[in-house]
């Protein structure tokens, strides 16, 4: 059922919550909520769910509460992503073309340098901006970058192709977060083609690492992730974020198919992580950094999948301390790793209750398909004899409905 921005505004006003108060309660920017309530932006499922939770805290209900769905399955959100966002691209691309032309006239930076900075900026925005909003800007920039690539040659073309690979990869991730798997897979292929033509080893490693890591959430077979991660390891293994991400992706893929070699790969990853420059290790919020929290997340995933719960618990505790209040989506997945470990150790009720609590406590704005897939792994760990337990059935039903 569609819930308009006007309906959200009326419910907020009835509960006595100011616009700025709602922004604080939901963690969504004041300007974005204002645009939604005015009707300038679609009231997508994550926003509606955030309102519902905030209103519930004040003892108020939002009509059609039961119709709120997960982003990946929500007709309103798909309409917004597939129609509303796409409709805005020509105007945004035209405006960016004008700006780019002016920039070339006044700046000493080359096109390739400017687009590399744009890719860096998008990498820093991935965890902070709503995926639908990020996608709108990415698609508009892609339309401009396409023309620049067509007009270029030689080293400049290779530099632009490198940036195109980065932008296409981040675009693929945005589609994945919205639950649109087919678009995500297509954009990953575009990213791979672009960086391969760029002949830039770090870019080739970076795209393959994130494409492999994203694979389970967009329906890739485990073998595809293994192939992607292995393709450039022999050609590019250096103390940088791309190589660390590539080793991490390989370890994930190995662990997901039960290959004990994943533990060896993680140890290689630890050694390589100790050699990376501080500027890379300190980059906590970008897709291009390799902070220690990301290393500990990789250990948590691998040791959980391999059933080494002692090592997994240690990695989980370490990772959660490092994340603090940042990266709620990754925190949720680590807590779900812990729930899976509890199930593996035989504490089925506690593990399932932990998973249910994580899902209930994760804001809809960051509960993407990656969180649901990780929760489903908790269910998969439950032995057949326990699958009729009420708590297990409840978790199953909750995941089926999302």
186/114 same-domain check: yes
Q: What is the pLDDT of residue 110?
A: 86
46/100 same-domain check: no
Rounded-to-integer distance, Cα 256 and Cα 252, Å: 6
The token pair at 344 is: 């593996």
Q: What is the pLDDT of residue 179?
A: 83
13/78 same-domain check: no
Q: What is the pLDDT of residue 66?
A: 38
pLDDT in tens, 28-40: 888 778 878 877 6
Q: What is the pLDDT of residue 236?
A: 61
48/83 same-domain check: no
Domain end residue (candidates: 68, 102, 125): 68
pLDDT in tens, 163-208: 999 999 999 999 998 888 889 999 999 999 999 999 999 999 999 9
Domain end residue (candidates: 42, 68, 94): 68
Q: What rounded mean pLDDT belongs to the chain?
A: 86
132/191 same-domain check: yes
Residues 6 or more apart whose CB falls under 8 angstroms from that of 226 comprise: 212, 250, 253, 254, 257
189/77 same-domain check: yes
Domain end residue (candidates: 44, 68, 92): 68
136/23 same-domain check: no
Which domain CATH number covers 62? 1.10.260.40
103/144 same-domain check: yes
Q: Helices 154-177 and 111-125 meet at what angle, rounded to 10?
A: 20
Q: What is the pLDDT of residue 70?
A: 37
Counted domains in the chain: 2
Virtual torsion, Cα 79, 127, 397, 224, nearest 10 deg = 90
Virtual torsion, Cα 155, 148, 163, 213, nearest 10 deg = -130
Flag whether 108 is in a domain.
yes
Flag whether 268 is in a domain.
no
Distances (CA, A) of 303 to 102, 230, 310, 322: 52, 20, 8, 18
Flag whether 188 is in a domain.
yes
Flag whether 357 is in a domain.
no
Q: What is the pLDDT of residue 71?
A: 39
Mean pLDDT of each 10-residue bin along the chain, 402 residues long:
74 87 84 78 75 84 50 40 56 71 75 92 86 88 91 94 97 90 93 96 94 91 86 76 94 95 96 95 91 96 98 96 82 96 96 93 80 93 93 85 58
37/81 same-domain check: no
Flag whether 132 is in a domain.
yes
176/84 same-domain check: yes
Residue-range definition of the domain harbouring residue 45: 1-68
């Amino acid at each position: 059922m569609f819930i308009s921005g006007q309906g959200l505004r009326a419910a907020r006003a009835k509960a006595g919550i100011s616009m700025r108060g709602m922004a604080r309660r939901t963690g969504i920017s004041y300007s974005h909520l204002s645009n939604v309530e005015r009707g300038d932006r679609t009231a997508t499922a994550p926003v509606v769910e955030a309102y519902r939770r905030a209103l519930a805290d004040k003892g108020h209900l939002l009509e059609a509460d039961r119709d709120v769905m997960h982003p990946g399955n929500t007709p309103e959100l798909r309409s917004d992503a597939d129609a509303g966002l796409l409709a805005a691209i020509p105007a945004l691309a035209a405006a960016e073309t004008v700006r780019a032309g002016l920039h070339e006239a006044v700046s000493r930076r080359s096109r390739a340098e400017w687009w590399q900075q744009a890719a860096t900026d998008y990498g820093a925005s991935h965890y902070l901006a709503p995926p639908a909003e990020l996608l709108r800007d990415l698609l508009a920039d892609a339309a401009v970058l396409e023309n620049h690539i067509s007009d270029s040659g030689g080293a400049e073309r290779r530099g632009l192709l490198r940036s195109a690979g980065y932008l296409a990869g981040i675009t693929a991730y945005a589609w994945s977060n919205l639950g649109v798997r087919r678009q995500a897979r297509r954009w990953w292929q575009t990213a791979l083609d672009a960086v391969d033509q760029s002949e830039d080893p770090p870019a080739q490693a970076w795209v393959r690492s994130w494409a492999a890591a994203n694979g389970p959430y967009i329906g890739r077979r485990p073998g595809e992730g293994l192939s992607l991660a292995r393709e450039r390891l022999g050609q590019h293994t250096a103390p940088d974020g791309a190589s660390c991400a590539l080793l991490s992706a390989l370890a994930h893929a190995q662990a997901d198919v039960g290959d004990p070699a994943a533990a060896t790969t993680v140890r290689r990853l630890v050694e390589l992580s100790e050699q990376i420059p501080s500027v890379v290790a300190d980059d906590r919020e970008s897709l291009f950094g390799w902070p220690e929290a990301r290393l500990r997340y990789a250990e948590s995933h691998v040791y959980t999948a391999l059933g080494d719960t002692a090592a997994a618990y240690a990695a989980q505790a370490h990772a959660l301390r490092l994340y603090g209040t940042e990266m709620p989506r990754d925190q949720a997945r680590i807590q779900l790793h812990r729930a899976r470990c509890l199930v593996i150790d035989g504490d089925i009720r506690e593990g399932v209750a932990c998973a249910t609590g994580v899902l209930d406590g994760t804001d809809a704005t960051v509960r993407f398909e990656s969180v649901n897939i990780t929760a489903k792994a908790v269910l998969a760990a439950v032995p057949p004899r326990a699958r009729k337990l009420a708590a297990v059935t409840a978790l199953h039903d909750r995941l089926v409905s999302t």
